[in-house]
Structure formats: C-alpha cells, structure tokens
Amino acid sequence: MTTGVEGYMYPNEITLYWSVLIVLYPYITGLVAGAFILASLERVFRVDAVKPTYRLALLTALAFLLVAPLPLQLHLGHPERSLEMYFTPHRTSAMAMFGFVYLWYLMAVLTVEIWLDYRRDIVVMAQSSSGLKRWIYRVLTLGSNNINERALAIDERVGWLITLIGIPSAFLLHGYVGFIFGSIKANPWWSSPLMPVVFIFSAMVSGIAAVMLLYMLIMRLRREKIDMLCVDTIARYLFYIFIVDFSLEMLDLVHRIYEADESFRTLNFMVHTKLYFSQIVLQIFVGTLTPILLLALTQVLKLPEIARKRIYTVAGCLTLIGIFAMRWNVVIGGQLFSKSFLGYTTYKMALATREGLLMSIALTLLPLFILWVLVKLLPPWPEKVQAEIPATTAAN
C-alpha cells in the first residue's frame, strides 16, 4: 500500500483519485474552446484568410465537445447517478455549474451556429440524397425547407449574434475548467486566480494548433492544395497567442518562486523530481519554447512554402504534446504531494482498466472518429455543394 511514498503523506492521500481521464477532460475541453475561437476569428473579427477552416473548426469543436464529458463520466464511482448534477445542482460547486455551462455551450451556441450555417446545405441535401442520409437531413431541417434569400439573411445575422455570444461562452467554458482547479484553496499547486486565464490561453493554443493540423492533414488526404494564406494566418495567430500563454505561465511561475510561500519548497522539489520530465522537458522546452521558436522563424524569415508547411506541422504537433503535458502537470502534479507538505506519492497509470491508458487512447481517438462522421454528413467544403445549388434554388 505504501509503495511509491516518500516522506509523510496523510494516510488517505496515498491513493490518487483523479487519473489520466481527468487530464484528458481539460485537454479535450480546451481543444473545443480553441477551435471555436478560431472559427469566430472569421465570423466576428472578419479575418477572411482563415475562412477555409471555418466550418472545419466548428465541426472539430462539436466532435470534441461531444466527447468532453465522457472521461468525467467514466471516472465517477457511480456514473449512473451523474444526472443528479442537473437535477439537484449545488450552487456553490464549480463542478455543478460547469454542467450548465457545458449544456449552454453545446445546445445554445455550437449546435445552433452549425445548424444555421449548414441549413441551406441540409435542405439541399435532404432533397438530393437518399436512404438513411435523406432521413437524417430531413430531421435536421426541422421540417422547414425555407432557404430563400431573406431566410438565409436572417440566418446569417442570427449566426453572427450566436458567434458573438459564443466567444464569451467559449471563454466561460474553459475558464470554468480552470476555476474547478483554481478555486481549491486546500491545494497550493492549483489555487491561483491565474488558473482560469492560463487555461483559456492554453486552450486557444491547443485548439488552433489542432485545427491547423487537421486542415493540412485533410487537404493532403483529399489531394487538394493547401491554402497557404490561410495556414500562414492561423500560424501567426497561434504564435501571438502562444506568447501570451507562455508569458502568463511564466508569470505564475515567477510569482510562485519569488513569493516562496509555505508550499514552495515542496512544490519546487516536486517539479525538479517527479514532474521534471513532464513539466520542464515536455511542457516548457519541447511543448512551448520549441514551437514558439519555430513559429518565430516563419515570422522573421521568408521561408519557402514547403519549409513553412513542415515547420507548422512540427510546431503544431509539439504544441499539442506540450498542452497535454501542461494538463497532466496540473491534474496529476496537484495530487502527488501531501497537503502536509511533508511527502510525495506516485501515480501509476493502469493499462486496461476503466481509467487506464487504453481507455484514454480510445477517448482521444473517439472525437476524430466523430469528426469523420460529421465531415461525411456535413461536408465543410463549399464547392461541391454549391455546384448543386443553382438547380435546387431554381426549383424553389
């Protein structure tokens, strides 16, 4: 029982309750928020260059959002009771309120925005497709085939409004995840007002990197030309936001080192031993400094297209690793030391259990599968659908 314990831990602290699944949860939620922010760049801030990724970003956000509660659900001792969170939410609990923020974001923002944006396509495809697909599209039209100009103009305006509401909602969604950790005064590794802010910016970084990678990958699979203006613009935003994110994380770090409160010696020791690889090596050097430097290169030098593509790919992958490491260090790191500040325990990841490695891999791949289905159902590529539109609108 006491294996892996150094120094003194309160006896109930030896077992660690928040496993790799709880690492996955802020990671996935972060991808959602980041992808949505990227989509809103085009819609609200009129950055037209990123338009080719607009729909892809929305679908990515939806795919990941649908999976986000699964790791939470699986780690519960009694998953069958999880609806109590909605039936009798406790007002003072950040976790209970997150349930409603999640529902709001899923039902009022993301689904509505996607539906409005795709409505014309859905109506068209409800008529042009057959079999099960036709049936799905017909349900999605909600029985209204009205896609005349004025209806679409209304959709456009309402959609813009939803995106406008969506930006603070996305901030709220992921800021709230940060608050779940940042509000725990018992845990000095978590307790920080910066936590929600750091979570939001790291979320944007990871979400933007993920959509950029997905866009390049899908274009390659579809043997189409990558819109370099689009990717360059995304990379530029990634670079800027990454710098803000890194500054905030360093601010937190410097503050902790300089204040050196009662918990500092313990946390400092932990960062230099048990978290050394995941925090110093993976999160800071491999996952943050390297991609920032790579992206800086593309901003400073005039590099050929092929070099930029490769740099973006490498930087994007490293970013995703780095942000995952960041979530790991927050969630797992926060449970490795004793609240007596006198000792440390060890986290041993299980392999094939409900909270094990295989499950977390499955949960990481599941959103990609959902995205594949969504892309099949609601193709984000306008050109093919548009080709069919004149005929049907004429028929209207």
The answer to whether 382 contacts another protein (rule: CB under 8 A) is no
Per DSSP, 285 falls in state: I
Using CB under 8 A as the binding rule, whether residue 260 contacts another protein is answered as no
Q: Which is nearer to another protein, 342 or 362 (CB)?
A: 342
Q: Which of 48, 90, 135, 373 binds another protein (CB under 8 A)?
A: 90
Numbers of helices and strands, H then E, in the chain: 16, 2
Which listed residue (61, 85, 177, 241) binds another protein by CB under 8 A?
A: 85
What would the two tokens of residue 42 be? 């085009």
Q: Does 268 bind another protein (CB under 8 A)?
A: no
Nearest to 122 by CA among 332, 389, 390: 389
Measure the CA–CA gap between 351 and 207, rounded to whole angstroms.
27
The nearest distance, CB 70 to another protein, in angstroms, is: 14
When asked if residue 96 is in the footprint of another protein (CB under 8 A), the reply is yes
Q: For residue 83, state whether it binds another protein (rule: CB under 8 A).
A: yes
CA proximity to 235, closest of 254, 261, 209, 255: 209
Quick check: 225 binds another protein (CB under 8 A)?
no
Amino acid at 314: V
Binding residue for another protein, selected from 268, 299, 340, 346, defined by CB under 8 A: 340
Whose CA is closest to 242, among 177, 190, 180, 319?
319
Q: 335 with 16: CB under 8 angstroms?
A: yes
Which of the stretches 207-215, 227-235, 330-338, 354-362 binds another protein when contact is defined by CB under 8 A? 330-338
Q: Does the footprint of another protein cover residue 306 (CB under 8 A)? A: no
- By rule CB under 8 A, what string of x and - marks binding of each residue 43-82 to another protein? -----------------------------x--xxxx--xx
SS3 of 9, please? coil
Q: How far apart are CA 346 and CA 274, in angstroms?
A: 8
* Residue of the chain from 3, 46, 131, 150 that contacts another protein (CB under 8 A): 150
Which residue, 81 or 220, is less far from another protein as judged by CB? 81
Residue whose C-alpha is closest to residue 17's, from 381, 334, 370: 334
Residues 6+ apart with CB under 8 A from 396: 145, 147, 148
Selected from 46, 88, 132, 394, the binder of another protein by CB under 8 A is 88
Phi/psi for 337 (5° steps) reads: -105, 160
What residue ranges bind another protein (CB under 8 A)? 1, 8-15, 17-18, 72, 75-78, 81-96, 99, 107, 112, 115, 119, 141-144, 146, 148, 150-151, 154, 158, 180, 183-187, 334-335, 338-342
